[in-house]
């Protein structure tokens, strides 16, 4: 699970790698976390090459297990891991408040912060600080984890009920996203366009890669999912079924079927 250590070492040996970016816990789009031992090996390997690691842990608090997954930064002995996180996925996306532990790159990060955004909204920071000091934050985390886990489980179950049998769905360790492999004949961008007409939102899998993979994959968010939205999954399942059918020339006939 997570980045392939051998391929990472090959890349570090053969290319001029400037930095490694990793979404370490409850990642987007699969919802999985890099195992503890692999995290340690990643930091040891990148440290050997003096290559910085940008660790995005914005969803790490949304784990479904008993214990919070550890972070890459915990194994950093040279200040090479730049740890980033946010309250956007946990408290409120509109606050846009996050934080960074830049390690040895504190001067560079400070200059970039000043160049990109001279000032950060003070009111939002004060509001969050007051909430953290109230003692309610941990209670909120426990509640939101339970809610997301239930919603993910419910959406996953509804997908299995309504999508074609060739469909595979991730089983996230945390967060609120589902990564879905559709039948090979389905083009996720075609599905996206048809779902948009039905006011259904999805993310085509192809945007998660640079080499043309995942054309028949989609990401769905269960963050607001409930029984009232089940009909959207049913409609999407019908559209996926249409997408997976072909005419005599092997061409997807989705537009024809939807007219």
Cα–Cα distance for residue pair 33/67, rounded to 1 Å: 12
pLDDT at position 231 is: 94
Q: What is the pLDDT of residues 170-228, one digit of tens each?
A: 999 999 999 999 999 999 999 999 999 999 999 999 999 888 789 999 999 999 999 99
Q: Is 16 exposed, middle or buried (0-12, 13-18, 19+ CB in 10 A)?
A: exposed
Is 185 in contact with 70 (CB distance < 8 Å)? no
Delimit the CATH 3.40.640.10 region(s) of the chain. Answer: 5-133
Instruction: Give the pLDDT of residue 136.
Output: 93
In the CATH scheme, what architecture does the domain 5-133 have?
3-Layer(aba) Sandwich (3.40)
Question: Which pLDDT tens digit goes with each residue over 73-83?
Answer: 999 999 999 99
CB 29 within 8 A of CB 202: no
Q: What is the pLDDT of residue 93?
A: 83
Task: State how far the Cα of 238 lies from the Cα of 251, in Å rounded to an integer.
Answer: 18
- Provide the whole-model pTM: 0.86
> Distance from CA of residue 206 to its chain's centroid?
14
Per-residue model confidence (pLDDT) at position 246: 52
Mean pLDDT of 156-172: 94
pLDDT at 122: 87
Q: Are 97 and 88 in contact (CB under 8 A)?
A: yes
Range name among 73-87, 90-104, 138-152 with the lowest pLDDT average:
90-104
- Tens digits of residue pLDDT in 109-129: 999 988 887 777 789 999 999
165, 245 Cβ separation under 8 angstroms: no
User: Within 10 A of 118 (CB to CB), how many other CB atoms are there?
Assistant: 7
**259: Cβ–Cβ under 8 A, 6 or more apart, which residues?**
none
Domain ranges in the chain with CATH number 3.90.1150.10: 141-258
Give the tens place of pLDDT for each residue, 17-49.
Answer: 999 999 999 999 999 999 999 999 999 999 999
- Residue 77 burial by CB count (10 A; 0-12/13-18/19+): exposed, middle or buried? exposed
- The mean pLDDT of 155-180, rounded to a whole number, is 95
- At 212-259, the pLDDT tens digits run 789 999 999 999 999 999 999 999 999 998 877 654 344 444 443 333
When the candidates are 3.90.1150.10, 2.40.50.140, 3.40.50.2000, 3.40.190.10, the CATH number that belongs to 141-258 is: 3.90.1150.10
Name the residue with tokens 């784990």.
Answer: 63
């Amino acid at each position: 699970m997570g980045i392939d250590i051998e391929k990472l070492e090959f890349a570090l040996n053969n290319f001029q790698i400037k930095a490694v970016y990793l979404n370490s816990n409850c990642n987007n789009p699969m919802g999985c976390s890099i195992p503890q031992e692999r995290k340690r090996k990643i930091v040891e390997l990148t440290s050997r090459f003096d290559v910085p690691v940008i660790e995005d842990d914005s969803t790490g608090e949304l784990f479904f297990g008993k214990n919070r997954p550890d972070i890459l930064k915990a194994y950093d002995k040279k200040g090479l891991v730049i740890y980033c996180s946010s309250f956007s996925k946990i408290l409120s996306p509109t606050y846009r408040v996050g934080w960074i532990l830049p390690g040895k790159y504190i001067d560079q990060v400070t200059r970039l912060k000043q160049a990109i955004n001279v000032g950060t909204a003070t009111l939002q920071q004060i509001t969050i600080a007051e909430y953290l000091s109230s003692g309610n934050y941990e209670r909120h985390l426990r509640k939101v984890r339970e809610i997301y886990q239930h919603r993910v489980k419910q959406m996953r179950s509804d997908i299995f009920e309504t999508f074609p049998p060739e469909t595979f769905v991730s089983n996230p360790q945390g967060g609120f996203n589902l990564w879905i492999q559709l039948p090979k004949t389905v083009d996720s961008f075609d599905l996206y366009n048809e779902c948009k007409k039905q006011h259904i939102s999805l993310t085509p899998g192809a945007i998660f890669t640079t080499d043309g993979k995942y054309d028949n994959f989609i990401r769905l968010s269960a963050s607001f999912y409930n029984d009232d939205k089940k009909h959207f999954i049913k409609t999407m399942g019908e559209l996926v079924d249409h997408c997976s059918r072909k005419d005599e020339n092997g061409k997807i006939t989705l537009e024809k079927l939807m007219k």
